[in-house]
Amino acid sequence: MTAALVSGREDWRRRAAFFAFFGALGWSFGGSMSYMRVLAYTHTDSLPDVLYGFLCTFVIGFLWGAMGGAGTALPAVLDRDRLTEFLPPLIAIFSAWAAWDYIVRPFVLPPWVEAGGTLNLDWYGSDWIGASLALLAMLVFLAFQRRVSPASSLILHMIAGWWAGFLGLVVVLGLRMTPPRGDNWAGCLGMTVALFVYLLRKRLFPVAVAALLAAVFAGFGFSSGLVIRSAGTATGISTNWHSILEQSYGFIQGIGIAVAMGYLSARAAPVNEEPLTRPWAERFSVAFVLVALTWLNISKNMNAVWLPNKVVPERMYGLPAIWWFHFAYLALAAVVMALMARHRRAPISAMPATELGKGQVLFLVFLWWIVIGNLSRYLPFHPQRMVTEGVILLNACIATVLALSLPREKESVAQLAAPDYARYLKRIAWVGLAVWILTTAVDSGLILPLFDAPFQGARFRFGPQALEGR
C-alpha cells in the first residue's frame, strides 16, 4: 500500500486495495518455512555449522522475498481483467482451506487422526494437506470454468512447483534443511522456481524484476538480522533479540521493496481499468484485508495468551470466550460490509473523494487495527516486550505521519522508456549470487569469534554433536 501511495501514480493509488490483498498473499508463504533451527546453527563454535546456518538463512529469506515481491508487483503491472481473474480461483482455495480447518478437522475426522495418533497426518512437518486441498479446489473450479485462464495457470504452476520441490528434494533425495523441523522450504523453493518460469514464459518481466530484487534484499536482510541477533545474544544482555532480528529483516526488506517498486513506478506502463470486470473485486479485497486477515491473526491470541494468562475467563454466560470473540468479529465484519455497500450507493462524507485519500484511509485503518491487535496479544505486558511492541508502535506512528504527509494529490512521474528487463534480470541474478556468497562468508567471519563454545540454544548440523532426527 505504501508503494501505491507514494508512487505519484494515480493508477497505482486507485489499486491500494489490490496492493494490500496481493501483497498479503505474496508475503504469507514465507511464514510457512521453519527457520529457528537454522538460526541456532550460528550459535556454535563450528565453522561448517555457522556457514550452513547463514547459507540457509539467506535461502529462506530469498524465497520469502521472491514470492512477496511478486505479489506486491502484480497490481502494478497487470490490467484489471487479468488481475481480478485471480479472485474466483483464490476464493475456491480459501473455501477449501476454511472447510478443512473449521469443519472437517474438528468435527468430521475421528480423534485418532492427528499428529502422533494411529493415523499420523504429519509428513515431514510440511503443508502437504494445504497443497492437496489447493489442487483439489482448482480442479473443481476448472471443471466449472471449463478453461484455464492465465491466473489459474499461475496458481497451477505454483501448486505443481510446491509438489515437485517437496517430493523431489525431501521425499526422493532426502534433503532436509533443518531436521527434525518441517520442510516447507522445499515446497516454497519449488513454488518460487515455478513462479519465475511462469513470469518468464508470459513475458511478465517487470514482475520478475521486482520479485528477484525483493528476493536478494530479503536474503541479505535475513542474514544481516541474524548477525545482529547472534551478536546481541553473545553479549549476555537479556532482551528479545529474536524480535530485533525480525524487525531488522523487515526494515531491510522494506528497502528492497522501495527499490523494486520505485524502479517500476517510472518504467511500468499504465495499467488499464477497462472494462470494469468484477466490480466487486475492490470490496472483496478490502474486506479480506480488514476483516479476514486481522481475524485470522488476532483470534490466535485467545488460546495462545489470553486464556493461559487469565486475561479473559474461559467461559462467559455459559459460552466459551472464543465464541464471544467470533461474535464480536462478526459484528465488525457486518459494519465493514454495510459501510462499503452504503458508500457504493451514496458516498459517505467521512470517506475521501480522491483515490489518494481512500488509500490513506485503508492504510491507516489496517495499520492500527493490526498494531493494536498485536499489542493486545502480550497482556499482561512485560518490560522486555518494549523492544518488540514498543518499537512496532513507534514505527506505526512514524508510518502514519509519512503516509499522510509525503504523498501529494497533484503528482506525476516522468515515465521512462521500458528497459531491457531480460538483461536486467541476468544482472540481478549474478549480483544476487555474489551477495549470497559474500554475505555468508562475511557474516560467518563476524559471528564465529563470538562463540568460543556452543551458546545457549545452539544446535549442530554436522559432526558428533549433531541432533539430526531428535
HEC states along 375-393?
HHHCCCCCHHHHHCHHHHH
The whole-chain average pLDDT of the chain stands at 90
Q: Which of 9-18, 305-314, 365-374 has the lowest mean pLDDT?
A: 305-314
SS3 314: coil
- Residue 470 is predicted with a pLDDT of 37
- How does pLDDT run across 270-300, given as a tens digit for each residue? 998 888 899 999 999 999 999 999 999 999 9
Upper half-sphere CA count for residue 209 (Cβ side, 13 Å): 25
Upper half-sphere CA count for residue 451 (Cβ side, 13 Å): 28
- Residue 469 is predicted with a pLDDT of 39
What one-character DSSP code corresponds to residue 315?
A: E
Which parts of 166-240 fold into alpha helices (H)?
A: 184-201, 205-234
Asked whether the beta carbons of 198 and 73 are under 8 A apart, the reply is no
Q: Which pTM does this prediction carry?
A: 0.92
- Residue 191 is predicted with a pLDDT of 97
- How does pLDDT run across 148-203, given as a tens digit for each residue? 999 999 999 999 999 999 999 999 999 999 888 899 999 999 999 999 999 999 99
Better pLDDT: 35 or 469: 35
Q: Which residues contact 377 (CB under 8 A, 6 or more apart)?
A: 298, 300, 301, 304, 305
Q: Where are the domains of the chain?
A: 2-78+204-450
Residue 37's pLDDT band, with cuts at 50, 70 and 90, is confident
Residue 468's pLDDT band, with cuts at 50, 70 and 90, is very low
In the predicted model, is pLDDT for residue 467 greater than 60?
A: no
- How does pLDDT run across 383-423, given as a tens digit for each residue? 878 888 899 999 999 999 999 999 988 877 777 888 888 89
In the predicted model, is pLDDT for residue 109 greater than 90?
A: no
- Residue 61 is predicted with a pLDDT of 95
- How does pLDDT run across 203-214, given as a tens digit for each residue? 999 999 999 999
Q: Which residues contact 314 (CB under 8 A, 6 or more apart)?
A: 307, 320, 321
Q: What phi, psi does 364 have (nearest 5°)?
A: -70, -40
